[in-house]
Amino acid sequence: MAIITNAPRGTQDILPEQSGKWQYIEKTALDTAGKFGFHEIRVPTFEHTELFCRSVGDGTDVVQKEMYTFCDKGNRSITLRPEGTAGVMRAMLQNSLLAGPLPVKASYVVNCFRYEKPQTGRLREFHQFGVEMAGAAAPVADAQVIALAKAIFDRLGIRDLALELNSIGCPECRSKYHQALKAYFAGHQEALCETCQSRLETNPMRILDCKSPVCQKIAAEAPKITDYLCEACAAHFREVQEHLEMMGIAFTVNPSIVRGLDYYTRTVFEFVSSGIGAQGTVCGGGRYDGLIETLGGQPTPSIGFAMGLERLLLVMEQQDCNFPSGETCAVYFGSMGSEASKKAAWLCKGLREAGFYAECDLMGRSVKAQMKYADKLGAKYSCIIGEKEMQEGKAIIKRMEDGETAELPLECGPLVEFLSAAFSPNP
Ligand code: HAM
């Protein structure tokens, strides 16, 4: 028989055997964010299209080429979120969170959708862990958000991610910089790729980000934003760096980090891995001081980041990071006959209520096959209940590892006591 269809290109199933890794990463990230005062927010998977056009920016690749946009049955234009920031900011505004004490901090785990060309580390549905902090303008806030990302990587045991930092200034210094860039690239217009020729008018900074070798070569000699920062932006950037130095967080200033979304101002940063191929940016973020105003709120300086969980997992696997092992099956009850099967299920219920992972036969297999299955499960103990055991009300419990046995009554209390001793770290 043939399956009627596979999952759409660029999507990925997370199977039961892998989900423990995902839960561990998500829990570690959320928990670490909690230590910085960030608590989880959950927002809708889809929003009105306009939200992303206004925040991410009409001219960006994300809005122009990559969004999953459709008309719902009420004829509204709806978009599956391509990223988390816009929805979180919309929720903060709509729920008047910004009227309370500032800064407002939120963390999130979201699935995102972008119609990109799939490759390793690049999917059409992917997952992000992110944080957003609204209302804090000071450089210490930037440094704290970066320190949080670093703390998550450290707790997961990830090494050797390069932190690249830049400032893209405020709209004022950026407009001077745009002019300088336009003048420079205009001198190389013919050589630029087609996309960059059109970027020349709309957003010359994106040329710095182009992957074409020719454009990259031209961009290497382009004027640097850091030479065009106004005094306030330059001072802010300096202080962010001083905070990072104080915390011992290594970074390099990379003037070609411009980020692909329009809302950024001042500090932008990326954590990059060199071990997972072309899509090495594991985490990206920055300040977006103008976004909340664009969405209809009061001017509210804000900053955040998002890390791609698929890429994070790739890095962890490539670096052989430790993951906690799944829960061990404490005991597998084998049984012969329907009365014994009921007894086994009843014992499982009692053990589970006491916090143990217990299994019994669900397939009506032979005892030999049941034991083989218990072995595959990695059960620590097994116990076979047959006619004799039912009559005597006791059975042999066997440690699978070495075959050591003990005889116990077929009652929950003594079994719980026995397993508690066997599983306690200091027997
Ligand atoms: P972004 O750089 O577009 O920023 O995405 C953040 C991270 O999501 C990337 O560094 C990457 O790890 C992952 N990512 C992006 N696209 C894909 C994809 N197609 N497949 C797999 N992973 C992907 C943002 O989304 C901003 N909202 C980050 C932010 C939050 N800035 C401030 N606050």
Q: Tell me: the pLDDT tens digits for 27-85?
A: 999 999 999 999 999 999 999 999 999 999 998 999 999 999 999 999 999 999 999 99
Among the three residues 290, 318, 346, which one is the final residue of a domain in this structure?
A: 318
Do residues 123 and 28 both lie within one domain? yes
Do residues 239 and 344 both lie within one domain? no
Identify whether 106 is part of a domain. Answer: yes
Identify whether 385 is part of a domain. Answer: yes
- 155 C-alpha to ligand 1 centroid (Å): 21
Query: Rounded mean pLDDT of the chain?
Result: 96
For residue 47, give the CATH number of its domain. 3.30.930.10
What pLDDT score does 427 carry? 47
Q: Among 105, 125, 281, which residue has the most ligand 1 atoms within 8 Å of its CB, making it the best to mutate?
A: 281
Phi, psi of 272 (to 5 degrees): -120, 135
Among the three residues 259, 289, 318, which one is the final residue of a domain in this structure?
A: 318
What pLDDT score does 209 carry? 82
| Cα 252 from Cα 95, distance rounded (Å) | 38
Helices (H), 257-393: 291-294, 309-318, 338-353, 367-377, 387-392
User: In 3D, which of 344, 27, 312 has the Cα closest to residue 157?
Assistant: 312
Do residues 258 and 368 both lie within one domain? no
For residue 409, give the CATH number of its domain. 3.40.50.800
Identify whether 133 is part of a domain. Answer: yes
For ligand 1, atom 18, name the residue with the nearest CA. Answer: 122
Do residues 277 and 380 both lie within one domain? no
Atom of ligand 1 nearest to the CA of 84: 27
Helices (H), 138-212: 139-155, 171-186, 194-202
Strand partners, 226: none
Atom of ligand 1 nearest to the CA of 271: 10
Host H or E run for residue 267:
strand 265-272
CB 50: neighbour CB atoms within 10 A?
11
Identify whether 224 is part of a domain. Answer: no
Do residues 27 and 113 both lie within one domain? yes
Q: Which amino acid is at 335?
A: S
Do residues 308 and 343 both lie within one domain? no
What letter would DSSP give residue 205?
G
For ligand 1, atom 30, name the residue with the nearest CA. Answer: 305
Q: Which amino acid is at 379?
A: A
Do residues 273 and 382 both lie within one domain? no
Q: Is 126 in the pocket of ligand 1 (CB under 6 A)?
A: yes
Among the three residues 318, 350, 368, which one is the final residue of a domain in this structure?
A: 318
What pLDDT score does 288 carry? 98
Q: Is 311 in the pocket of ligand 1 (CB under 6 A)?
A: yes
CA 76 to chain centre: 30
- 260 C-alpha to ligand 1 centroid (Å): 9
- 61 C-alpha to ligand 1 centroid (Å): 13
Do residues 154 and 259 both lie within one domain? yes
Residue-number span of the structural domain to which 380 is assigned: 331-421
Express each pLDDT in 300-335 by its tens digit. 999 999 999 999 999 999 999 999 999 999 999 999
Identify whether 176 is part of a domain. Answer: no
Instruction: Answer for the pair 163, 269: CB distance below 8 angstroms, yes or no.
Output: yes
Using a cut of 0.85, tell me whether the model's pTM lies above it: yes
Identify whether 294 is part of a domain. Answer: yes
What pLDDT score does 48 carry? 98
Q: How confident is the model at residue 425 (pLDDT cuts 50, 70, 90)?
A: low
C-alpha dist (Å) from residue 363 to 341, 346, 369, 375, 398: 11, 17, 10, 16, 21
Do residues 155 and 264 both lie within one domain? yes
- The total number of structural domains in the chain stands at 2
Express each pLDDT in 251-305 by its tens digit. 999 998 989 899 999 999 999 999 999 899 999 999 999 999 999 999 999 999 9
Residue 426 has pLDDT above 70, yes or no: no
Do residues 49 and 141 both lie within one domain? yes
Express each pLDDT in 97-112 by its tens digit. 999 899 999 999 999 9
Do residues 36 and 147 both lie within one domain? yes
Do residues 298 and 335 both lie within one domain? no
Identify whether 197 is part of a domain. Answer: no
Q: Is 47 in the pocket of ligand 1 (CB under 6 A)?
A: no
Express each pLDDT in 157-213 by its tens digit. 999 999 999 999 999 999 999 999 999 999 999 999 998 998 888 888 889 888 889
Q: Among 261, 288, 300, which residue has the most ligand 1 atoms within 8 Å of its CB, making it the best to mutate?
A: 261
Identify whether 2 is part of a domain. Answer: no
